């Protein structure tokens, strides 16, 4: 027993090290896939439902709502964006809610803890916006943003379609599930990817929040 005991212990330890190695490799592969996804969130592809550009935020939102709801009642529209520089520095989030005529009603901004990728910052920004809209009692809202992989998957989930499984076993999957859970019942949300230039105002306040290390601030526009 004195002879075999250490040998058994060593084998067990070796197996434990192998299992840990597999977990590290698997996590690294997931992180690599998330990073590759996050790199394309700025890109506009032919399949993206992009709309005519404008320098006026109100005009942008009005055109988006009118184009998206050609035969439906007009809805409020919320543009969301995040500002990210590196995984070592705080990120910023910003969102603005517009009424159907294109007038900004309320907006929110905050500096958040560093995130591994810009995709994670985008997911946090969207989750914070959705939570606030639900808290404020807004129901039928069109959510727009320039993070294609995130908004496309959420649109599929909202439409009861099968979404991509690229985020299984990752932190992004948790954010997506939370957003989807808040998008049902009374708070009925629709998600739509747009060009980066069409969420410039949200990007602006997200950058401001990051640079000023701002607390979470929600302000009404009178």
Residue 210: other Cβ atoms inside 10 A: 24
Alpha-carbon torsion (159, 120, 49, 96), positive or negative: positive
Residue 81's SS3 state is strand
pLDDT of residue 4: 41
For residues 187-199, give the mean pLDDT.
86
At 132, the pLDDT band (50, 70, 90 cuts) reads: very high
Q: How many domains in the chain?
A: 1
Q: Distance (Å, rounded) from C-alpha 61 to C-alpha 76?
A: 9
Helix (H, G, I), strand (E, B) or coil at 217: strand
Residue 14: inside a domain, yes or no?
A: no
Confirm whether 142 is domain-assigned: yes
Q: Which two tokens stand for residue 113?
A: 């803890």
In a domain, 119, yes or no: yes
* Residue 215 pLDDT exceeds 60: yes
Q: Given a cut of 60, is residue 207 above it in pLDDT?
A: yes
The model's pLDDT over 173-188, given as tens digits with 9 standing for 90+, comes to: 888 888 988 887 656 7
Residue 185 dihedral angles phi and psi, to the nearest 5°: 60, -130
pLDDT (tens digit per residue) in 56-89: 555 566 566 555 554 445 678 999 999 999 999 9
Pairing label, strands 104-112, 91-98: antiparallel
pLDDT of 161 strictly over 60: no
The CATH number given to whatever domain includes residue 211 is 3.30.420.10
Instruction: Name the nearest CA neighbour of 216 among 66, 102, 113.
Output: 113
Cα–Cα distance for residue pair 89/123, rounded to 1 Å: 17
In a domain, residue 36? The reply is no
In a domain, 12, yes or no: no
- DSSP code for 52: -
Percent of the chain scoring above 70 in pLDDT: 59
Distances in Å between the Cα of 35 and the Cα atoms of 97, 118, 173 are 29, 8, 14
pLDDT band at 139 (very low <50, low <70, confident <90, very high): confident
Answer whether residue 72 is part of any domain. Answer: yes
User: Do the domain assignments include residue 37?
Assistant: no
More confident residue, 165 or 208: 208
pLDDT category at 100 given cuts 50, 70, 90 is confident
| Residue 185 lies in domain | 57-220
Q: How confident is the model at residue 48 (pLDDT cuts 50, 70, 90)?
A: very low
Residue whose entry in the numeric block shows the structure tokens 């560093």: 114
Q: Is residue 24, in this structure, part of any structural domain at all? A: no
Gap between the Cα atoms of 188 and 62, Å rounded: 19
């Amino acid at each position: 027993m004195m002879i075999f005991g250490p040998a058994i212990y060593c084998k067990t330890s070796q197996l434990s090290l192998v299992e840990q190695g597999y977990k590290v490799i698997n996590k690294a592969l997931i992180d690599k896939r998330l990073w590759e996804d996050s790199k394309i969130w700025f890109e506009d592809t032919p399949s993206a439902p992009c709309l005519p550009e404008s320098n006026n935020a109100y005009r942008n939102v009005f055109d988006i709502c009118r184009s998206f709801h050609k035969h439906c009642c007009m809805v409020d529209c919320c543009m969301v964006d995040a500002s990210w520089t590196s995984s070592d520095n705080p990120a910023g989030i910003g969102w603005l809610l517009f009424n159907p005529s294109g007038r900004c009603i309320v907006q929110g901004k905050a500096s958040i803890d560093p995130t591994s990728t810009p995709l994670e910052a985008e997911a946090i920004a969207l989750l914070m916006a959705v939570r606030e809209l639900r808290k404020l009692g807004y129901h039928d809202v069109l959510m727009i943003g320039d993070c294609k992989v995130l908004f496309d998957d959420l649109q599929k989930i909202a439409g009861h379609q099968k979404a991509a499984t690229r985020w299984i076993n990752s932190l992004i999957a948790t954010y997506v599930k939370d957003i989807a859970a808040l998008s049902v019942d009374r708070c009925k949300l629709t998600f739509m990817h747009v060009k980066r230039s069409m969420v410039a105002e949200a990007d602006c306040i997200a950058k401001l929040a990051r640079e000023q290390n701002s607390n979470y601030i929600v302000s009404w526009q009178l």
